Amino acid sequence: MASPSRRLQTKPVITCLKSVLLTYTFVFWVSGIVLLAVGVWGRVSLAVYFSLLDEKATNVPFVLVGAGVVVVLLGTFGCFATCRGSTWMLKLYAMLLSLIFLIVLVAAVVGFVFRHEIKTNFESNLNLALKNYNGTADHHSEAVDTIQRTGILLHCCGVQNYSDWEKTEYFAQKGIPQSCCKSQGDCSVEDLRDPRKAKLKVFVDGCFFLVTSTMESKMSVVAGISFGIACFQLVGIILACCLSRYITNNQYEMV
């Protein structure tokens, strides 16, 4: 049996670890709410961009929502385990955090490896959308208009440049779409049917390069965030394991 003075030294350590782990778990729980919000925002605001990617890419917002739900539930469980001071629950919490840590790393590696395939898929689907463009409420036609009108705030026209529209059936009928115009009030049908006049009225840069270059410029930020989340989970794993160990030692010393 350990001396009373040693037990008194252990209890403050356990209290301190509980406080730190509770703070960590709360931040972890909030990150789950953020993932949920980002997933819902992506599903609502970025639907047109996902529609021009592979069908699997359209599931990304749902994956984020699912991940957010899992993190919220796990954070709630971690808070309960910490307050109870249950060693087996703390060990289970650490194991689940380790699993999420591995999933985050695998997802980051897969996203990095297949980034070129995603670009190629986006380019081919954008070319196909231009070829079948009809200017109506068609899903892909709407996506093309939205991208050209906004282009992630870069403004663009066509795939490589505005002249891509000259190869489409829509151009033969109505010229370049209104969504390419720099100013909607200064773009007549006659101008849009004449490539020389249209060059002065529409955005000339292609959407593919502008969109993908913007996405690539953000890749380092995404990689940094992923690495930060992974490191943050390591902190939780270490804290949960340390608290479980101190609680076990304290119970042993009291016997």
Burial of 110 from C-beta contacts in 10 A (0-12 / 13-18 / 19+)? exposed
Pick from 166, 154, 168: which is nearest to 208 by CA? Answer: 154
Query: Residue type for 104, please?
Result: V
As a dihedral over the C-alpha atoms of residue 205, residue 207, residue 210, residue 214, rounded to 10 degrees, the angle is: 160
pLDDT per residue over 45-95, tens digit each? 766 677 777 666 666 677 778 878 888 898 899 888 888 888 888 889 889
Over the stretch 95-149, which tens digit does the pLDDT of each residue have? 998 888 887 777 777 766 776 777 788 888 888 888 888 876 677 788 888 888 7
pLDDT confidence tier of residue 255, bands split at 50, 70 and 90: very low
Q: For residues 148 and 122, give the distance between their C-alpha atoms in angstroms, rounded to a whole number.
A: 14
